[in-house]
Amino acid sequence: MLRLALTDWLKEERSITVAEAAEVLGADESTVRALVRSEALDGHRVGKTDVNPGGVRVNLQSVLNYKARHQIRNTDGQKKPPAGRRPRREATASYREAMVALRAMGSKI
């Protein structure tokens, strides 16, 4: 029983580098650092010696929780596809008439 509790504790306390967190989130490293500064992600500094000048580590569980909280979902709970360019709609008759009128007035559209 103690081993299971220790395993859960280790899972919660596991930390990763800023680069690894950026890869998990699909973001830039500067974005991850900003999230740590704003306390949206749990992180800490490591290595304050001359041999190991330092860096930032991010709590893995906080990264996974952040990613789950910020997923974009449809109303039916399914994840939305990435936003892309919408297909172009056909020009309506009134739009074509308006364009003809604008060109007749000398507008260069």
Structural domain spans, the chain: 1-73
Q: Is the pLDDT of residue 1 over 50?
A: no
pLDDT for 51-89, tens place per residue?
666 688 999 999 999 998 887 666 666 666 556 666 677
Cβ(22)–Cβ(43) below 8 Å:
no
Longest Cα–Cα distance of the chain, Å, equals 84
Q: Is the pLDDT of residue 30 over 70?
A: yes
Q: First CA to last CA across the chain, in angstroms?
A: 74
- Predicted confidence at residue 79, as pLDDT, reads 63
Sequence-distant contacts of 62-70: CB under 8 A, at least 24 apart: 63/16, 63/21, 63/24, 63/25, 64/24, 66/25, 66/35, 66/40, 66/41, 67/24, 67/25
Beta-ladder partners of 15: 59
Model's pTM, two decimal places?
Answer: 0.55
Q: How far apart are CA 61 and CA 80, in angstroms?
A: 23
C-alpha radius of gyration, the chain, whole number: 25
Provide the CB-side half-sphere exposure for 26 (13 A, CA). Answer: 6
